[in-house]
Homo-oligomer: A and B are copies of this chain.
Amino acid sequence: MSRWQPNARGRLEQAALELYTERGFDQTTVAEIAARAGLTERTFFRHFADKREVLFWGQDALMELVTTHIADAPDSASPFEAVRGALRAVGEIFEGRREHARRRQAVIDANPGLQERELIKLASLAAVMAEALGRRDIPQPAAKLTAETAVAVFKVAFDRWISADGNNNLTHVIGDSLDELKALTAGT
């Protein structure tokens, strides 16, 4: 029935971001996204559950990546060292995707419903990190404090990364932000 479409997913994602940017998220339909990508609605729904998922599809993989990196950190790693490694791995995923990330963020920032979804995603990320730290026998409240703080740092680093000019690198910005947090808390 259906022909295989080379990189249909990427084309749909690109078309959706363009339309969300031009018209706004609420004003864009799946039919329009499919048409812009030169594909059918049916193909769209083979890749995404709905038009919101185009913006949030990587979440499960992100959680798994973070969980794995925290679990695999050396036994000698402190809680913050374990999350540092996990956040660096997240940073690497975004390598070369800054323009995409910037456009995605602009769409989210323009829509309160999407902002809520993004906040829930970050809260879930913190919960997953706290659980992974708990499995390393990090007691409470250290596990939750580390996880919530790590997500706070990630949020600020991500924002710096997409706002900055020049060819910067998210992994480096995350590392710098963690170092700055350490310097900021040291003086108190």
Contact = CB atoms under 8 A, between A and B. Distances in A.
Interface of A: 78-81, 84, 115-116, 119-120, 123, 126, 140-142, 144-146, 148-149, 151-153, 155-157, 159-160, 177-178, 180-182, 184-188
Contact of A141 (B148, B156, B187): B156
Contacts of A181: 145, 149, 185
Q: Chain A contact residues: over half helix, strand or loop, or mixed? A: helix
Q: How many monomers of this chain does the complex have? A: 2
Contacts of A152: 126, 145, 148-149, 151-152
Contacts of A120: 115-116, 119
A155 B153 CA distance: 15
Contacts of A159: 144
B188 A160 contact: no
